Amino acid sequence: DQKKRFAVATQRYGEGSSTRGMTEQEAWENHQAQKATVRFGAKNKKQASDGYEFVFDDLGGFVETSNEVETEKHRDRDSRTVAEKDKEERNMLPIHAYRDELLKLIEENQVLVIVGETGSGKTTQIPQYLREAGYTKRGKIGCTQPRRIAAMSVASRVAQELGVKLGHEVGYSIRFEDCTSDKTVLKYMTDGMLLRELLIEPKLDSYSVIMVDEAHERTLSTDILFGLVKDLANVRPDLRLIISSATLEAKKFSEYFDSARIYMIPGRRYPVEKFFNKLPEADLLDTAIRTVFQIHETEPLGDILVFLTGQEEIEKAETKLKLRMIDLRTKSSEIIICPIYSNLPTELQAKVFEPAPKGSRKVVLATNIAETSITIDGIRYVVDPGYCKLNSYNPRTGMESLLVTPISKASAEQRAGRSGRTGPGKCFRLYNVKDLEATTVPEVQRANLASVVLTLKSLGIEDVFNFDFMDPPPANALLKALELLYALGALDGKGEITKLGERMLEFPVDPMLSKMIVGSERYKCSGEMITIAAMLSTGNSIFYRPRQVREEYLADIARMNFYTENVGDHIALLRVYNSWKETNYSSQWCYENYIQSKSMRRARDIRDQLAGLLEKIGVELTSNPNDLDAIKKAILAGFFPHSAKLQKDGSYRRVKEPQTVYVHPSSGLFTASPCKWLVYHELVLTTKEYMRHITEMKPEWLIEIAPHYYELKDIEEARPKKTQRSGRSPMSKVGDTNKKVKRY
């Protein structure tokens, strides 16, 4: 009877959450097995609160003294070697049963689209199967990931499974970090890195298989890769292409790759009960935390996964959770908080994958990294506030920003599914799924395209408008990219890549930043420019801001030491780096000056790499630390399109665009008396459009450095502009197709 009800229930959960691929009997057995552990968990919790005694055993877990059987089992399990355990675990993955079938299909089909539930083993197993089948004798297996952290963690997992040192047979490559060697045959990398490899090795001759993984994420680089590898398949019949995805967009992928064969890996998925909030919540983060405790107090053991928008929110949540634990007298052994986001230091990343000790549960605070890119075992509950951060780009104004955006229905399903991987799960949604859009707009339609257009040009793709995009970007976004690259001197009047453009491409940074570096040759300050570029590329803040008011005050004073004479943010960053270098890269110095030593070490590492690239393109490493004008001009050589002029009301106006912008409160110039003209690194949109990292400049430099871009009348004070000038090229009259992007 129960069995029947279970069958009905699994059916009722519909397409997203059925136990697809299992017979009814199998699903039932799984369910029973799961229930047994649930009961055990519940018993545990009750006993804990009844004051049962626990002892700490030497294996590091909490074990009940009274439960001999379980203790024995526990020992038993752990007496196996890591390799044995891994092998067993590997063989239990859903993909295992389809290994031979998969290999046969890959052999027979040059392009294969593989769809499989997240966690079924696509990323970690397929490359290993290919290796076992001998593909690595012909070349490397390359597997792309949209996220750095996924590339790193998956590579380290696979290295562990194979019992090899990471960076030897199995390695990864992400921007500014290459953990591979001559031995590497299984190479995980970000999609952006494979794009860069194409520049050096256009036919990817050293690879026998390319697996474009997480294809459903539709990142900008992945979309560009689609077009390039599709082409490559024609000239390299021996190359195998695997496009793998967690969702059902497979049909679209297949059509794009000339009706490529689709293979669905039957996944295991348990029913997920979904709860949702009917009322809009005032404070979502608070509600999320309250939900976590509600689960903790009323539900059987099992880990909780909370989806948050970014590092900042995760840190806030961590603080709130800890405070509430104190309030509720929750034992610190009961809840183990594990944050996971892309900038989390590597040594802390491992913690999230470690099983929670017996009697406790992990609360994983994750960005949408945990949606499909990485799988954390043991999750039984998902708390989903329903937001993520997405970048958006307005080709009209050149404004780029990260916006907190409601997720799509597809994402909501993925997130919920994370709770039903190893047993029936529960998902607590703090929104109504009806309000969501079906899918997310692909990044190519909401991104700044300057960098990829330059890459395409270098690969000899002259007509970027006719590039084989799976979903084409708005025409004016392509135009804007071409205009910018032309203004920077990376493309010539015919739209062909210049020598300068080729040199810029050597640097794995955005075109304006690479122009700043390459252009500094003229001002004899390449050393300063790579320092500034490195400091801007760490992905983390340099200055440490404590939470307490008094400490905050001291930190601000320490920071302003680097800003004497109102030098601006770029030069302040340069001073920070140089002072740190003078102390022989001392962490103590960082601590005393409220500087994040981790960011500094990363900056040093990036700077070393940029120095190497300078040498490669034959630019001498020169230093000119006292000529601030030269340094500012070099910055302007790359960032001249980002100029702004003070208005009467204290706001700024972009020189070439009718757009009002403000100095970001984090700028060292925020409290200084305002400078009339400035250049900024980037715009960020929060409550207003803010300029971040700014430096004062002289308007005549604009004419000196970019005479093709600025005219005298742009910098003349008296003559107000009557009409908006948008016509740098006649082509910019193409209609505004930006509407597609606007969904926020």
Question: Would you count residue 102 as binding ligand CDP (CB under 6 A)?
Answer: no
**Residue from 16, 121, 302, 641 in contact with ligand CDP (CB under 6 A):** 121
CB 559, min distance to ligand CDP, A: 37
User: Residue 121, by phi and psi: left (phi above 0), alpha (psi -120 to 50) or beta?
Assistant: left
Q: Which is nearer to ligand CDP, 221 or 375 (CB)?
A: 375
Choice from 10, 44, 110, 120 touching ligand CDP (CB under 6 A): 120
CB of residue 246 to ligand CDP, shortest distance in Å: 6
Q: With contacts defined by CB under 5 A, name the span among 116-124, 227-235, 517-525, 693-701 that binds Mg ion.
A: 116-124
- Report phi then psi at 383, rounded to 5: -110, 120
What the block records as the tokens of 296 is: 């903790």
Q: How far is the CB of 246 from Mg ion (least distance, A)?
A: 7
Taking the complex as a whole, how short is the minimal distance between the CB of residue 115 and ligand CDP, in angstroms? 10
Least CB distance to ligand CDP at residue 42 (A) = 24
Residue 120 makes contact with Mg ion by CB under 5 A: no
State yes or no: residue 538 binds ligand CDP (CB under 6 A).
no
Angstrom distances, CA of residue 460 to CA of 133, 364, 548, 705: 35, 45, 55, 29
Task: Please say which residue, 186 or 741, places its beta carbon nearer to ligand CDP.
Answer: 186
Q: How many CB atoms lie within 10 A of CB 530?
A: 25
Binding mask 142-181 toward ligand CDP (x if CB under 6 A, else -) reads: -----------xx--x------------------------
| C-alpha span between 249 and 222 (Å, rounded) | 14
93 binds ligand CDP (CB under 6 A): yes
CB of 530 to ligand CDP, least distance (A): 33
Question: Which residues neighbour 493 within 8 Å (Cβ) at sequence distance 6 or greater?
Answer: 486
Strand partners, 274: 427
- What is the separation of C-alpha 381 from the centre of its chain, rounded to a whole number of angstroms? 24
CA distance 578 to 15: 58
664 binds, among Mg ion, ligand CDP, none (CB under 5 to 8 A by kind): none
CA angle 372, 352, 424 (to 5 degrees): 60
222 binds, among ligand CDP, Mg ion, none (CB under 5 to 8 A by kind): none
Structure tokens, 511: 């075109």
- Token digits of residue 680: 């900024």
User: Nearer Cβ to ligand CDP, position 118 or 394?
Assistant: 118
Core vs surface per residue 72-90: b (16+ CB within 10 A) or e: eebeeeeeeeeeeebeeee
Interacting partner of 153 out of Mg ion, ligand CDP, none (Cβ under 5 to 8 A depending on kind): ligand CDP
Which helix (H) or strand (E) is 694 found in, with range? strand 689-696
Q: Which stretch binds Mg ion (CB under 5 A): 67-75, 117-125, 184-192, 224-232?
A: 117-125
Q: Does 123 bind Mg ion (CB under 5 A)?
A: yes
Please tell me the count of residues contacting ligand CDP according to CB under 6 A: 17
Sign of the CA dihedral running 368, 401, 606, 174 = positive
**In what helix (H) or strand (E) does residue 553 lie, and over which residues does it extend?**
helix 549-560
Task: Determine if 378 is a binding residue for ligand CDP (CB under 6 A).
Answer: no
CA distances to 8, 28, 466 from 5, rounded to whole Å, are 5, 10, 55
Q: Which of 18, 123, 208, 455 forms a contact with ligand CDP (CB under 6 A)? A: 123
Binding of residue 116 to ligand CDP (CB under 6 A): yes
Binding range to ligand CDP, per CB under 6 A, among 114-122, 381-389, 393-401, 529-537: 114-122
Least CB distance to Mg ion at residue 146 (A): 10
| Pattern 44-83, ligand CDP, x by CB under 6 A | ----------------------------------------
* Residue range at the interface with Mg ion (CB under 5 A); choices 107-115, 121-129, 356-364, 481-489: 121-129
Instruction: Please provide residue 231's backbone torsions phi and psi, each rounded to the nearest 5 degrees.
Output: -65, -45
Q: For residues 186 and 127, is the Cβ–Cβ distance under 8 A?
A: yes
- With residue 275 as reference, give the H or E element that holds it: strand 272-276
Pick the binder of ligand CDP from 122, 268, 602, 693 (CB under 6 A). 122
93 binds, among Mg ion, ligand CDP, none (CB under 5 to 8 A by kind): ligand CDP
Smaller CB separation from ligand CDP, 157 or 274? 157
Nearest approach, Cβ of 88 to Mg ion (angstroms)? 20
Q: Provide the minimum distance between the beta carbon of 365 and ligand CDP in the complex, in angstroms, as a whole number.
A: 17
- What residues numbered 496-515 form the site for ligand CDP, per CB under 6 A? none
Beta bridge partners of 387: 406
- Smallest gap, in angstroms, from Cβ of residue 396 to ligand CDP? 38
Spell out the SS3 assignment of 623-686: CCCCCHHHHHHHHHHHHCCCEEEECCCCCEEECCCCCEEEECCCCCCCCCCCCCEEEEEEEEEC
| Nearest distance in Å: CB 195, ligand CDP | 21
578: nearest Cα among 545, 530, 620 = 530
Residue 266: count other Cβ atoms within 10 Å of its Cβ: 16
143 vs 479, beta carbon nearer ligand CDP: 143
Q: Which two tokens stand for residue 65?
A: 């003294």
Applying CB under 5 A, the site for Mg ion has a residue count of: 1
- CB-nearest residue to Mg ion: 123
Q: What is the footprint of ligand CDP within residues 543-602 (CB under 6 A)?
A: none
Our CB check for Mg ion shows the closer of 245 and 455 to be: 245
Q: 17, 118, 208, 520: which one contacts ligand CDP (CB under 6 A)?
A: 118
Footprint of Mg ion on 369-408 (CB under 5 A)? none
Q: Which of 377, 582, 608, 704 binds ligand CDP (CB under 6 A)?
A: 377
CA of 734: how far to CAs of 272, 307, 476, in Å?
48, 40, 7
Tokens of 187: 């190479």
Nearer to ligand CDP, 93 or 456 (CB): 93
Kindly tell me which of 124 and 440 has the beta carbon lying closer to Mg ion.
124
531 touches Mg ion by CB under 5 A: no
Our finding on whether 448 is near ligand CDP (CB under 6 A) is no
Q: How far is CA 434 from CA 217, 371, 383, 405, 441, in A?
A: 22, 20, 17, 15, 18
Coil, strand or helix: which one is 717? coil
373 or 593: CB nearest ligand CDP: 373
Q: Pick out residues in 317-376 that bind ligand CDP (CB under 6 A).
A: 353, 374-375
Residue ranges of E strands in 530-655? 643-646, 652-654
CB of 152 to ligand CDP, least distance (A): 9
Considering only CA atoms, give the Rg of the chain. 28
Helix H or strand E segment including 340? strand 335-340
Helical H runs in 355-510? 369-372, 409-417, 450-458, 475-488, 499-505
Q: Which range in 32-40, 115-123, 171-179, 649-657 contacts Mg ion by CB under 5 A?
A: 115-123
The 3-state DSSP class for residue 24 equals helix
Of 151 and 447, CB closest to ligand CDP: 151
Q: Based on the shown chain and the rule CB under 5 A, indicate whether residue 125 belongs to the binding site for Mg ion.
A: no
Q: Which among ligand CDP, Mg ion, none contacts residue 377 (Cβ within 5 to 8 A by kind)?
A: ligand CDP
Provide the binding-site residues for ligand CDP, judged by CB under 6 A.
93, 116, 118-125, 153-154, 157, 353, 374-375, 377
Provide the binding-site residues for Mg ion, judged by CB under 5 A.
123
